[in-house]
Every structure is written in structure tokens, then in C-alpha cells.
Amino acid sequence: MEKTVIALAGKGGVGKTSIAAAIVRELVRSYPKARILAIDADPAVGLETALGVHAQYTLDDVRKDIVAAGEGSREKKRALELLGESRFRVLNAMVETDGFAFIAVGRPEAAGCYCSVNAYLREVISALADEFDFVVIDGEAGVEQINRRVMEKVTHLVLVTDPSKKGTQVVQTVRRVADELTMYQKCGVIVNRMNDEALRPLLDLGDLPLLACIPDDPAHARADVEGRSVWDLPENSPLANGVRGALQALDISVRN
């Protein structure tokens, strides 16, 4: 199976994390034998709740432990020399569940950290992703992670917005930055909370393909308030149906 890396980006507060979790759910149900990795790359956190998992150790914890190990030596260790230890720590940070694995990036970088170590950790993440058939990355809101090339190589870039002008402008900006700094094969937009179909002709997406319009989902909203995961969603919920349609529009086959 060819590796598929799906990265989600867009303005904050548009439901990106819920859509990322629903994508993981559809992949797990459609590919029960596949190796699937979900990465919470948003420092605001939320994907673990949406997926019903909990990570006690994050990649930021790995970074800080490696920095501390380097500071303890007379001469600071080069990132390459930390290969074995950092890889073990990254694997230790991974949560294995039925059907998928999960890892959280954690808080943003703090002042004074080793840029070389952070760059190296991105390479470790990339190498780790090679071991999975599907990788779903819930990215940070805005364009910063694209600018920092955290999501440098993806196969599918999914931009999430609401129908607002500000939201559609953000996804167009993310796409322009990604065109310069990111390698991807397919890109498209999911418009979330689209409750009035009369607004569809008014959406300003530029030349971005529209993958799906998803209306508000009362069942998901209630589950979110109660702290329940996407696994509790009905099969025919608006969120599940919309995500299935978006994946199929990206030529990723999922069961109906």
C-alpha cells in the first residue's frame, strides 16, 4: 500500500480537529489491516480527546529531555549522536490503540532550545511516518507550521474553513505558502458548518477544489460537550458523511 499523509490546516475554531478525528475513524473502519498514525501537531491540543486517547508523553517532552541530556555533557551533543536515544523516546511517546497509533507534538518551542535538535526531531517524525500506511496530521491553526516546514512532505493537504470570508481567505493564504514550501499531490477545501446551501455560490475559494460542505452536526456537538469521541458518532451523521465524501474526492477509497 502506498503511503498516504493527510495534513489538515486552516483558521482556528472552524472544526479542523473534529474533521481530523473523523478522517482517522473512516480510515480505521475502511482499512482494518492498515497501519494508521494520528499526529496532534496543534499545541492547543484536542485531537486526543476527539479520538478518545491520552498521551502522557509528547514530542516536546522528548525535545526537552534530549536538550537536558546534551547540556549535561562537557561538549554539547550533535543531533546525529542522539539518534538511538531520541528514536526510543519518540516510540515511547506513541500511544497504541485498537486500529491506530497516536502521538502528540505538545507545546510550542520555548526560547533557548536547540534548533538543530528540533530540526532533527522533525526528521525522526518523518522517518516514523514511513512506517505507516496512513498518517493524519492535525496541524496548528494558521500558516506557521507551513512556514516552519513542519509538514514539508504530505500527499494530501486538506484545508478546513467555515463559510466566512476570513476563513476562506486563510485557506487561500495557506495554499499559497504551501505551494512554495510544501510538496503535496492533492489539495482541497472542506467547508464546515455550512448550514445554508444558498451560500455555496458565494464561497470564495479561488481555484481550490471544494471537497465537501458539512452542516452543523447536533450529535457531534453533544458528544463534544460530553467529552465523548468520534467513535460514538452515528454512521450517517453529517460529519461522517461529509468526511467520507471529502476522502473520496481526494481519491482515497473509504467504505460507504
Report the pLDDT value the prediction gives residue 117, as an integer from 0 to 100.
Answer: 45
**Mean pLDDT, to the nearest integer, of 216-222?**
90
Indicate the average pLDDT of the chain. Answer: 83
Residue pLDDT, tens place only, 183-214: 788 999 999 999 998 899 999 999 999 999 99
**Mean pLDDT, to the nearest integer, of 12-22?**
94
**Per-residue confidence band for 122, with pLDDT thresholds at 50, 70 and 90:** low
User: Above 80 in pLDDT, residue 106?
Assistant: no
Report the pLDDT value the prediction gives residue 110, as an integer from 0 to 100.
Answer: 53
More confident residue, 70 or 239: 239
**Per-residue confidence band for 108, with pLDDT thresholds at 50, 70 and 90:** low
Report the pLDDT value the prediction gives residue 181, as an integer from 0 to 100.
Answer: 75
- Distance between CA 20 and CA 53 in Å, rounded? 14
Other beta carbons within 10 Å of 79: 20
User: Above 60 in pLDDT, residue 231?
Assistant: yes
Per DSSP, the residues of 192-222 read ES---GGGGGG---TTPPEEEEE---HHHHH
More confident residue, 120 or 231: 231
Q: Is 237 helix (H, G, I), strand (E, B) or coil?
A: coil
**Mean pLDDT, to the nearest integer, of 43-64?**
84
User: Above 90 in pLDDT, residue 102?
Assistant: yes
Report the pLDDT value the prediction gives residue 129, as an integer from 0 to 100.
Answer: 76
Answer for the pair 105, 58: CB distance below 8 angstroms, yes or no: yes
**Per-residue confidence band for 97, with pLDDT thresholds at 50, 70 and 90:** very high
User: Above 50 in pLDDT, residue 15?
Assistant: yes
Report the pLDDT value the prediction gives residue 27, as an integer from 0 to 100.
Answer: 97
Residue pLDDT, tens place only, 129-180: 788 999 998 987 665 555 455 556 788 999 999 999 999 999 999 898 888 8
User: Above 70 in pLDDT, residue 73?
Assistant: no
Pick the CATH number of 4-249 from 3.40.50.2000, 3.40.50.300, 3.90.650.10, 3.40.50.880: 3.40.50.300
Kind and range of the H or E run holding 240: helix 238-249
Taking the CA atoms of residue 166, residue 171, residue 175 and residue 178 in that order, the dihedral angle to the nearest 10 degrees is: 100
**Mean pLDDT, to the nearest integer, of 11-39?**
95
